[in-house]
Amino acid sequence: MLDKLIIIDYADGAGGEYFSNFISSHSGFFAETPLHENMQNSTDKLQKFFNSRSLIVSNFETDLIEFEQICEHNQIKNISIPYHLYKFPNRMEQFNKIAKSVRFVKITVSDNCHTYDFLRKVLLNTVTHANMAELSFRTVDMDRSQKIQLIQRLKNKNLYWLDISLIKQNEKINTSTRQQYLNLLLSKEYNLPSTDIEIHYDDFFVNFNNTVDKYNLLCHRLDIIPNHSLIEQLISRNTKNLKELLIYKEKFKEIFQSL
């Protein structure tokens, strides 16, 4: 059983994977974890474990057992992970089965800036044959006709990660085009269920005037030792990320019309 598990409760694109990696990188917590600038390039299966399983139909009880076994095998007693609790709010209590202490950090947002970042880094990236392993994993519960659609787009070099979500959710959301789906995502509001600790996306990803103070307060509430080298890395990385994101937003109208 883990001693401490910190779960980051966040909306798509709101930096949950990076922030959980940031928390796990603290000395005395899980110091051997490298702080990745881009979690999309990370091969850390533990950081992505539960979110990856949420993309397919899986048994959550079994997932919990497997995660605990991986941590035990690697002698990990404390870790922070990201999880889209807005999809599965009833699973919050179940994490108590694998950790003596479970804390939740909710990242709240005030606009849809995070959604553009999600589109930029994930959904509007082209799927290629180099991504076949991940593509196979994400489509394991699709029917034959859905897979044929994706294969044809892959052959035509016109397959985005967004298409997988669109095809899977078409019946639920009653939309059929990429542009309709993007409009839906950009107007989406998230109900984040945790009530333990709340931080604001802007304080760590947009406006850095009070970031150090907010960080020190968070460390105090989580009972972890502040590491000023790590918070400097976070500010540096997110300053760069914000500049790239603002450039992307300026070009988004052109990108949108090309879909």
* HEC letters along the chain: CEEEEEEEECCCCCCHHHHHHHHHCCCCCCCCCCCCCCHHHCCCHHHHHHHHHCCCCCCHHHHHHHHHHHHHHCCCCEEEEEECCCCCHHHCHHHHHCEEEEEEEEEECCCCHHHHHHHHHHHCCECCHHHHHHHHHHCCCCCHHHHHHHHHHHHCCCCEHHHHHHHHHHHHHCCCCHHHHHHHHHCCCCCCCCCCEEEEHHHHHCCCCCHHHHHHHHHHHHCCCCCHHHHHHHHHHHHHHHHHHHHHHHHHHHHHHHC
- What pLDDT does 55 receive? 84
**Contact by Cβ (8 Å): 34, 25:** yes
pLDDT tens-digit profile of 199-255? 999 999 999 999 999 999 999 999 999 999 999 999 999 999 999 999 999 999 999
- What pLDDT does 48 receive? 86
Residue 56 to residues 134, 140, 152, 200, 233: CA-CA distances in angstroms? 12, 7, 21, 29, 33
- What pLDDT does 174 receive? 63
- What pLDDT does 11 receive? 96
Q: Give the residue with greater pLDDT, 31 vs 66.
A: 66
Q: Is the pLDDT of residue 33 over 70?
A: no
| Matching residue, tokens 């020190």 | 216
The bridge status of strand 99-108 relative to strand 78-83 is: unpaired
- What pLDDT does 43 receive? 44
Radius of gyration of the chain (CA): 19
Where, residue-wise, is CATH 3.40.50 in the chain?
Answer: 2-110+191-258
pLDDT tens-digit profile of 47-105? 889 999 988 878 999 999 999 999 999 888 999 999 999 999 999 999 999 999 999 99
- The string over 232-249, giving b where at least 16 C-beta atoms fall within 10 Å of a residue's C-beta and e elsewhere, is eebbebbeebbeebeebb
Q: Model-level pTM?
A: 0.91
In the structure, what pLDDT confidence band is assigned to residue 28 with cuts at 50, 70 and 90? low
What mean pLDDT is predicted for residues 131-156?
A: 91
- What pLDDT does 13 receive? 95
**pLDDT above 70 as % of the chain:** 91
Backbone phi, then psi, for 105, in 5-degree steps? -120, 115
Q: Is the pLDDT of residue 27 over 80?
A: no
- What pLDDT does 176 receive? 74
Quote the tokens at residue 39. 């979690």
Q: Which fold has domain 2-110+191-258?
A: Rossmann fold (3.40.50)
**Contact by Cβ (8 Å): 149, 127:** no
pLDDT tens-digit profile of 171-192? 566 667 899 999 999 999 999 9
